[in-house]
Amino acid sequence: MKMKKLLLLILFPLALYSLSSCTKVSDPTITTAIQQAADDDAAIKAYLTVHPEITNVKDTLGCYYQVVSTGAGAYPTATTTIKGTYTGSLLGGTAFATNASISAPLSSLIYGWQIVLPHVPIGSKIIMLIPSIYGYGTSGSGAIPANAVLRFDVDLSPPGA
């Protein structure tokens, strides 16, 4: 009797595992995020086609940026206080921030800024095209709708400014 219980105790979880591995359940959230990333990348590429004046670099995580002018400062880290001004807009041209001031640690900014800014020295002027996942994602923020690709024109204040 003990042998039957032991055998059942071993075989039952094994059978459940085998059966569960046969079902193909996909997480719709993951599928949606993958599709959104592809849609964002396509939107950015279409935008760049219409705006050939933007010569860009694509970060390995999918953010695009152009260094308009290179500053003389150090490259920022997560603890660097980012100072300067920026204009933020949707790819369609609707501005949600114009000549806005920034003075905050890099680690507190949207993830797209955290990805791109360590590639450019303080004092630089850059254009960033940020996929929605690295901006405000599926929730949006104020005038920024959900899943919006964002353009930022940023003027980082030179060191000591």
Q: What does pLDDT average to over the chain?
A: 86
The C-alpha atoms of residue 67 and residue 149 are separated, in whole angstroms, by: 19
Is 24 a member of any domain? no
At 19-45, the pLDDT tens digits run 444 445 456 666 688 899 999 999 999
Residue 4 placed within a domain: no
User: What pLDDT score was predicted for residue 1?
Assistant: 53
Contacts of 160 (CB under 8 A, 6+ apart): none
Placement of tokens 């800014």 in the chain: 117
pTM for the whole thing? 0.80
Q: Are 65 and 129 in contact (CB under 8 A)?
A: yes
Query: Does the residue 18 lie in any domain?
Result: no
Q: Is 5 within the bounds of a domain?
A: no
pLDDT recorded at residue 139: 92
pLDDT by residue, tens only, the chain of 161 residues: 555 444 434 444 444 444 444 445 456 666 688 899 999 999 999 999 999 999 888 988 999 999 999 999 999 999 999 999 999 999 999 999 999 999 999 999 999 999 999 999 999 999 999 999 999 999 999 999 999 999 999 999 987 76
Residue 120 lies in a domain: yes
146 occurs within a structural domain: yes
The reported pLDDT for the residue numbered 160 is: 73
pLDDT on residue 27 = 61
Domain count, the chain: 1
Provide the residue range defining the domain that includes 52.
29-156
Task: Quote the CA–CA distance of 67 and 154 in Å, as a whole number.
Answer: 10
Q: Are 98 and 122 in contact (CB under 8 A)?
A: no
CATH of the domain at 83: 3.10.50.40
